[in-house]
Amino acid sequence: MAVPMAAADGRGAIGYRSTRAGSAAPVSFEAAMLAGLAPDGGLYLPVEVPQLPPGWREAGDLAELAALALPRLLGMGSAEVSELFADAFTFKVEVAHLSRDRHVLELFHGPTAAFKDFGARALARLLERSLARRSRRALVLVATSGDTGSAVADAFAGLEHCAVALLYPEGGVSRVQERQLLARRDGVAAIAVTGTFDDCQRLVKEAFLDPALAGLSLSSANSINVARLLPQCLYHLWGAARLGAEHETGPAVEVVPSGNLGNLTSALLAARMAGTEPTLVAAHNANDYFPRYLAGEARAFDFSASLATYSNAMDVGAPSNFERLAALLSAGPEVVLGASVSDAETLEQMRLSFAEDGYLACPHTAVGLRALEILRASGAVAGPALLLATARPAKFPEVVTAALGPGVADVALPGADAEQVEPRRIEPSLAALRDELLTLA
Ligand SMILES: *Cc1c(COP(=O)(O)O)cnc(C)c1O
């Protein structure tokens, strides 16, 4: 039974329950955020998704949308929500209109040039607020295949109540991404793991359940944390509202370049808030567990090892949000389709988009564009499509050069000249991580 918890504006705050908890009592948003992973190893989901009020499409910006969509989910008053999100989202979301009714929602205009800035900047403010209210400190542990780490490091640097430890696979991120990860920042330690991203992600989950680390107040900034997913709902709604103004009902198809499936999960939550039923497309690279699961070719949780591809932020063999997504999908009317795109098709799509539309897409965005082509060609989807552009192409100069030759992506990224630190290096074992974290505390 749901325990009513009063939000600051007097409306009932919504509780959160683990995907594995069955009928256990729900916890507050703050408890779910601070814990990251539920004690039983499951992922938190709100027990209810509140409906947006009529007229939400007229909201002027993401902060205004936040004040309509999130107060009960965050257990905060709408004025405070609006203020927090106005402070977090200081950059624009742009829409690029391509040929054949394709509309690209550019989510990479934040400080680290990938969509992770949305979740990370909102989470930093939400966490800092909760910890300050409790006079507590926390160590935020984050596994990164590139973009999450720099977004979290940038968003959390210098906070009074949170320090950050970033785990990344040594040699598994691009040079630009590694420079961003190793920029000197107050309260942020970078740890290079001699393993894969899946190793990093597994180590984070193990560290959370390790009694020897209980004293560190670990928290997670990965998309296992529900507090990162909720802010991401806002740009899905924003895109649907912008394009709804041009099309009678808004785009029927939304394409999400996917790895850990956090962005897709937030798209699904956003559709529930809006009461719309778009066809969601999970666009994957060769790490295609989820498309195979959807096609009935892989069983639930029968994951594979990750493979290195050009769209490296999506090189995930065991998507951490699969458990949450599976729980949501079993209880809803949404249509989710999957497609898998090879490296050769990714490069070809980058060339094609540049030639056809003069549009330079990062490799992840190109996977989305190609996935749409595949599903349109097979007749699985039709009509206008909203595609998410998840990173700025200049973050991946090697791939842009492989597709289009030199000189196309030579744009300096923000912070490119930041002072660098040496990473700490560990083997992919919990014992090695434990030692490292205890020296940080
Ligand atoms: C993280 C990331 C993705 C995948 O998003 P998920 O939420 O993990 O599915 C796609 N593209 C880029 C550029 C990313 O950084």
Q: How far is the CA of 312 from the centre of ligand 1 (A)?
A: 9
Which residue type occupies 341? V
- Cβ(234) – ligand 1 distance below 6 Å: no
**pLDDT value for 21:** 78
d(CA 233, ligand 1 centre) in Å: 14
Is the CB of residue 428 below 6 angstroms from any atom belonging to ligand 1?
no
Rg (CA), the chain: 20
Determine whether the shortest distance from the Cβ of 180 to ligand 1 is under 6 A.
no
CA of 120 relative to ligand 1 center, distance in Å? 13
Nearest atom within ligand 1 for CA of residue 146: 15
Decide: 213 in ligand 1 pocket, CB within 6 A: no
Task: Check residue 8 and give its pLDDT.
Answer: 46
Residue 10 is predicted with a pLDDT of: 44
Question: Can you give the pTM of this predicted structure?
Answer: 0.92
Gap from CA of 313 to ligand 1 centroid (Å): 5
What is the atom index within ligand 1 of the atom nearest the CA of 260?
A: 8
Please tell me if the CB atom of residue 114 comes closer than 6 angstroms to any atom of ligand 1: yes
3 state SS of 252: coil
CA of 263, closest atom in ligand 1? 7
352 CA from centroid of ligand 1 (Å) = 22
Taking CA atoms, 412 is separated from 151, 174, 312, 409, in Å, by: 17, 15, 20, 9
In degrees, rounded to 5, the angle at the alpha carbon of residue 352 between the alpha carbons of residues 291 and 366 is 35
Q: Is the C-beta atom of 314 inside 6 A of ligand 1?
A: yes
- Beta carbon of 257 within 6 Å of any ligand 1 atom: yes
Tell which atom from ligand 1 comes closest to the C-alpha of 259. Answer: 9
pLDDT, tens digit, 9 for 90 and up, residues 46-56 = 999 999 999 99
Give every CB contact of residue 72 below 8 A, 6+ residues apart in sequence: 7, 11, 12, 13, 14, 50
Read off the pLDDT of residues 145-166 as tens digits, 9 standing for 90 and up.
768 888 999 999 999 999 999 9
Find all residues with CB under 8 Å of 54, minimum gap 6, and list them. Answer: none
Give the per-residue pLDDT at 254. Answer: 96
> Which residues of the chain have a pLDDT value below 50?
1-10
Which of 109, 112, 118, 147 to probe ligand 1 with, by most ligand atoms within 8 A of CB?
A: 147
pLDDT at 180: 85
**pLDDT at residue 7 in the model:** 45
- Give distance in angstroms: CA of 438 to centre of ligand 1: 30
